[in-house]
Structure 1
Amino acid sequence: MRNGWIALALVGCASPVLAQDEVPTVKTADYEFGYAYPAAAGQVPGLKAWLEADRARLRAKTMRDGAAARREAAKSGFPYRRYSYVQSWKLVTQTPRFVSLSGDSYDYTGGAHGQPASYGLVWDKAAGRRLEPRALFTSDAALQSATRTSYCARLKAEQMRRTQGTVSSMNSCPSIKELTLLLGSTNGRAIDRIGLIADPYVAGSYAEGTYEVTLPVTPAILRAVKPAYRAAFAVRP
């Protein structure tokens, strides 16, 4: 999957990544569906329950949408292109406080190509609940202020490399709200890295693919973390 390398970069030398390279799929005349998560996530009861509920919800939606599209195609006399939805979660890291996952999906609904998307998920073991990674920060504005200069510089370097110097208006530096945020660790003790993922069309054309940037936690980033979670983070030397 697309963001496997950023998961590896974020985990560093912490616990091994228990990712599934192939997502088992179910195929019918109406739809194809696959959903996978790492064994480590399945060992956390509350997290496993959430993932299983998410799997059931997404499969029901894919099944319902595919069946409706197939009926509509038959009415219109057009060939039906089977709907497909495949999603995979990978372990980024585990610390005493958090389990951090990265996810990516590919959603095909009969067009010229499907739409990839990325996700971040944090399970708070102390509270026994799921959190959006950005919920650990005081605000999007605070996180953007702490990361903007470094993120935009690294992103631009990668944009220049991929486009061979021919950047366009699509290659602007997106706001933090447009990005997927991942939390990572180099040692399994504290969050000391963050990953920022720009899906296709967010920082470039579809052909350019996904842009992924990893940043160390700096004093500025640490100040943007909510006080309740700050002890679970560390500045990376």
Structure 2
Amino acid sequence: MNKHAVLVSVVMLCLTQAGCKPEPAAEPRPSATPAAAGSEARPETVALVDVIETSPSRIIGISYPHDASIPAGLAGVLQQYAGQARDELQMALDGLGNDQPRAPYELSLSFTVSADTPAFMAVSADGSRYTGGAHGQPLMARFVWLKQQQRLLPIDALITEPASRAALADYVQNALVQQMENRLRADQLSAEELASARSNARRMINEGTAPEMENFSQFLPVVDRQGQITALRFVFPPYQVGPYSDGTQTVDVPVSVLLPHIAAEFRGLFAAG
């Protein structure tokens, strides 16, 4: 099953890390250029420890980045996300009472650094949680950490005006509809099947891309060699804008579309449109 493949890759990566052991408990304007030497203290960084746990009832594998210095605040956010995923797995096991699952419940989660510039770091979290049934529940999250401000950058801070939010939603919706049409053409459906599939897909896209910022909360910056943002990649998990079989879907919104809608205090992070 696909969920096992993801888990095995996370477990193997953890086992190859030296010292792998259970995880311990745990407003200046942003700039695309580094601060002058000595102008401020260097943010504290921490080393995150991979997790591997196995028992007859559960298997857990969590892999953190080891090729980048993770700011302490961001490390805490990642640990909190992983901890919540573990707690939800345990709650599902506790719900069985004295019964044992037919197959071990599983959590696999891998964090990777997607962008690392003087101004921000972006991290992707991908994995799955299996608590019975035909397949696991996908886990997906994206984090953009402002290094100087030492906080996350949420989409509702980047795009604040209602008209701008509507413009973003329209662009993403149109892109997803085009992707959907391409998939349907490749499926070679009958006219009746095509009409039904198109209607259902458009309904899910319309609902999943309504101009509410929680629908666009998962995003990553696409950066150039100078560390400036050239696009935002919005990520939609299964069921938000399509059925499970469509998997995770993405739309890149280029800076030429974004820049007029970005809040003034963050425009320095973006390349010229």
TM-score range with shorter-chain normalisation? 0.7 to 0.9
Offset of 1:223 from its aligned partner?
Answer: 2.7
CA distance in 1, matches of 2:169, 2:132: 38
CA distance in structure 1 between the aligned counterparts of 2:144 and 2:104, rounded to whole angstroms = 33
Would you say the 8 A contact 1:38–1:90 is kept in 2?
Answer: yes
Distance 2:64 2:200 in 1: 33
1:91·1:102 contact (CA, 8 Å) conserved in 2? yes
Q: CA deviation at 1:227?
A: 2.2
Who is 2:259 aligned against?
222
The corresponding residue for 1:162 is 183
**Aligned letter for 1:232?**
L
Paired residue secondary structure (1:118): strand
Give RMSD over aligned pairs. Answer: 2.8
The whole-number CA distance in structure 1 between the counterparts of 2:162 and 2:95 is 38
Instruction: Select 1:119's aligned residue among 138, 141, 147.
Output: 141
Residue in structure 1 matching 2:10, options 23, 35, 41? 23
State how far apart, in whole Å, the 2-side matches of 1:32 and 1:158 are: 36
Q: Distance in 2 between matches of 1:122 and 1:55?
A: 16
> Structure 1: which 4+ aligned runs deviate by more than 4 Å?
none
Q: Secondary structure at the match of 2:138?
A: strand
Q: Higher relative CO (CA 8 A, sep ≥ 6), structure 1 or 2?
A: 1
The aligned counterpart of 2:132 is: 110
Secondary structure (helix, strand or coil) at the match of 2:97 reads helix
With the length of structure 1 as denominator, give the TM-score of the two structures.
Answer: 0.74
User: In the alignment, does 2:107 pair up with 1:69?
Assistant: no
SS of 1:234's equivalent? coil
Task: Answer yes or no: is the 8 Å Cα contact 1:186–1:193 preserved in 2.
Answer: no
2:219 aligned residue (181, 197, 206) = 181
Q: Which runs of 5+ in 1 are unaligned?
A: 3-20
Whole-angstrom distance in 1 between the partners of 2:57 and 2:96: 7
Letter in 2 for 1:154: A
Count residues with an aligned counterpart. Answer: 210
CA contact (8 A) 1:23 1:86 kept: yes
Q: Which consecutive residues of structure 2, in runs of 5 or more, have no partner in the other structure? A: 3-7, 12-51, 188-193
CA offset at residue 123 of structure 1?
Answer: 0.7
Hey, what's the Cα distance between the residues in 2 that align with 1:144 and 1:32? 43
- Write the distance in 1 (CA, Å) between the matches of 2:10 and 2:155: 24
Amino acid at match of 1:156: V
Quick check: which has more Rg, 1 or 2? 2
Query: Which of 205, 208, 211 matches 2:249?
Result: 211
Q: Does 1:202 align with 2:229?
A: no
Alpha-carbon deviation of 1:55? 2.9
Note the C-alpha offset of 1:193.
1.0
Aligned equivalents of 2:183 and 2:261: distance in 1? 32
In 1, are the aligned partners of 2:109 and 2:125 still within 8 Å (CA)?
yes
Q: Is the 8 A contact 1:41 1:48 kept in 2?
A: no
Q: Which of the numbers 64, 77, 84 marks the counterpart of 1:50? A: 77
